[in-house]
Amino acid sequence: MITRRALFAGGVSLGMSAALGVTPARAARRAPISDPFQLGVASGEPTPDGVVLWTRLAMNPIALDGRGGMPDRPVTVEWQLAEDENFRKIVRSGAETALPESAHSVHVELEGLRPGAEYFYRFKAANELSLVGRTLTAPAPGTRTRALNLSFTSCADYQAGWFTPYRRMAEDEPDLIAFLGDYIYEYGDYKYPVRDQAGGECLDLAGYRLRHAQHKADPETQMAHAIAPWVVVWDDHDIENAWAGDVPEQPDPPFLERRAAAFQAYYENMPLRRAQKPDGAYLHLYRSIRWGAVANLHLLDTRQYRDLYACTGKSGTVGPDCMERFEPNRTILGSEQESWLDKELKDSAATWDLLGQQVFFMEMDWTNGEGKGYSNEGWDGYVASRNRLTAAIDTYKRNAVVLTGDVHSHWAGEVKRDYQDPESKSVAVELVTTSVTSAGDGLDEYPDTTVLLQENPHVKFFNGRRGYVRTRITESEMKVDFRSLARVTEPYAPAYTSGSFVIEPGDPTLNPA
Ligand SMILES: [Fe+2]
């Protein structure tokens, strides 16, 4: 006889054991009904001597009030950090208070750890242990010998499919995972979802908290967080489709209230530092992560400070063209962030400067055949901003690689000083990751792919499946594998490499590997 309890435990443990299947020794435990750790664990923001450990308690992740089925009172959460996954060599431990006003989230900011080291961590509350996470500190400043194995992806739409790309990314055991936006989608229910979500469109704090909790309760999301530290930036759907600065797509609810709710839930649910704690509708997201002297990863926010969309005053993937795109005062980063980034590049002594950001950076004519069409949501809508950044990369002689999300397909290309001049030199490389699930299974190529590549000769590669990008970065080269999956509408698809490139310092071109 199948009891309700067995069904429940079976349902949960299927996910949990699948999540732990990659690293079975890392936590062989079953989730009981009262398990407060159903959202898993995460770490992020590594420095040479520290990292952030994160968890959020929830006994019922899909409680519609967004409170995760937690009581309306503080809960003590203990944590441990060890050098081994069996916790024989515990190097730090402590306790935090998870507060209902922070959705029972916990952010532990560690300092004084060894540089370039692997650690394991776990939490304990209400006599239950969390699963075990693995994390890393960054190498000591100046260190050139330690490679950076960085994977990045974007756009995880729960209703669009299974998060198998997260599983495949975790299996590679990278050193660092960068997420480039659309970690959640604020949308209401689809007519034909691959997976049903709880709650409707995210409009308030309860809605965003619930959506984040549903994602964190996903076992494949948990695998990817448990394997390595993450660095995250948002794009539009973490808040609302196509928002630009203080201007929403929809007037209701009042946008700054909605944005404040989305920002609060974003902070609560991500392994971010206190420096990224929101102040109402404002959150300082741009920052740099340093990986010894091998790489600086500059994480940009192209949403919060951008001017309105050119030519239309609102968003559109490909808008009508007009001279406003070239207006010299237009900015996608805002002047403060632009100055900060200029200084980061000027002062950088790393071999590589990686720019983790949201939207297409290279010029891209999206119109197949006659005529031209540019996205006014990407940097094509902010040409002067792009020219200033491209010039800075060139002037300071940085080996820059732009890492991009948003478009739900893999692309690779070369950033030019002048896209109209076929002889114009390449100044940087751009790697655009596809989505985790957004847009469904996709195809390797579309009927217009060949023509699009021909009409944009600086663009060298396309793949239209779901997946992630895997890189191995050393002082002598950056190796890039575009990883693709045949499907996400059914679980467990394997990943394959749809394109491989090598980039060498001093030569911002894409070389087939
Ligand atoms: Fe997206």
* 13-64 confidence digits (pLDDT tens): 333 333 333 333 333 344 555 899 999 999 999 999 999 999 999 999 999 9
Counting every residue written for the chain, the total comes to: 513
Distance 326 CA to ligand 1 centre (A): 26
Distance 410 CA to ligand 1 centre (A): 13
- Note the pLDDT of residue 315: 65
Mean pLDDT of the chain: 93
Distance 184 CA to ligand 1 centre (A): 9
Distance 58 CA to ligand 1 centre (A): 27
Distance 243 CA to ligand 1 centre (A): 13
Distance 124 CA to ligand 1 centre (A): 35
pTM score, two decimals?
Answer: 0.94
Distance 433 CA to ligand 1 centre (A): 11
Integer Rg of the chain from CA: 22
Tokens found for residue 91: 């190097």
Distance 7 CA to ligand 1 centre (A): 35
Distance 103 CA to ligand 1 centre (A): 26
pLDDT band, very low/low/confident/very high, at 207 (cuts 50, 70, 90):
very high
Identify the residue whose tokens are 């756009």: 155
Residue 446's Cβ-count burial label (10 Å; 0-12, 13-18, 19+) is: middle
- Note the pLDDT of residue 21: 38
Distance 183 CA to ligand 1 centre (A): 8
Distance 406 CA to ligand 1 centre (A): 5
Distance 439 CA to ligand 1 centre (A): 8
Distance 366 CA to ligand 1 centre (A): 17
Q: Which residue from 512, 486, 485 is spatially nearest to 499, judged by alpha carbons?
A: 512
253 pLDDT exceeds 60?
yes
- Note the pLDDT of residue 1: 32
What is the three-class DSSP state of 452?
A: helix
Distance 155 CA to ligand 1 centre (A): 4
Distance 242 CA to ligand 1 centre (A): 10
Distance 235 CA to ligand 1 centre (A): 8
The proportion of the chain whose per-residue pLDDT surpasses 70, expressed as a percent, equals 93
- Note the pLDDT of residue 317: 66
- Note the pLDDT of residue 11: 30
448 pLDDT exceeds 50?
yes
Residues 86-93 have a mean pLDDT of 98
What is the DSSP track for 247-303? B-SS-SS-HHHHHHHHHHHHHHHS---GGG--BTTB----EEEEETTTEEEEE--SS
8 pLDDT exceeds 60?
no
Residue 284's Cβ-count burial label (10 Å; 0-12, 13-18, 19+) is: middle
Q: What are 406-439's pLDDT values in tens digits?
A: 999 999 999 999 999 989 999 999 999 999 999 9
Check the CA dihedral 60-66-70-75 and report its sign.
positive
Distance 237 CA to ligand 1 centre (A): 7
- Note the pLDDT of residue 348: 98
Distance 215 CA to ligand 1 centre (A): 15
What is the three-class DSSP state of 381?
A: helix
Distance 444 CA to ligand 1 centre (A): 18
Q: Which residue from 131, 216, 235 is spatially nearest to 178, judged by alpha carbons?
A: 235
pLDDT band, very low/low/confident/very high, at 312 (cuts 50, 70, 90):
confident
311 pLDDT exceeds 60?
yes
Q: What are 320-364's pLDDT values in tens digits?
A: 788 999 999 999 999 999 999 999 999 999 999 999 999 999 999
Distance 181 CA to ligand 1 centre (A): 7
Distance 185 CA to ligand 1 centre (A): 8
pLDDT band, very low/low/confident/very high, at 370 (cuts 50, 70, 90):
confident
Distance 48 CA to ligand 1 centre (A): 32
Distance 494 CA to ligand 1 centre (A): 22
Distance 434 CA to ligand 1 centre (A): 9
Residues 6+ apart with CB under 8 A from 39: 55, 56, 57, 58, 61, 68, 213, 216, 217, 222
- Note the pLDDT of residue 181: 98
Tokens found for residue 152: 């990045």
Distance from the Cα of residue 313 to its chain's centroid? 27
Q: Which residue from 235, 513, 502 is spatially nearest to 360, judged by alpha carbons?
A: 235
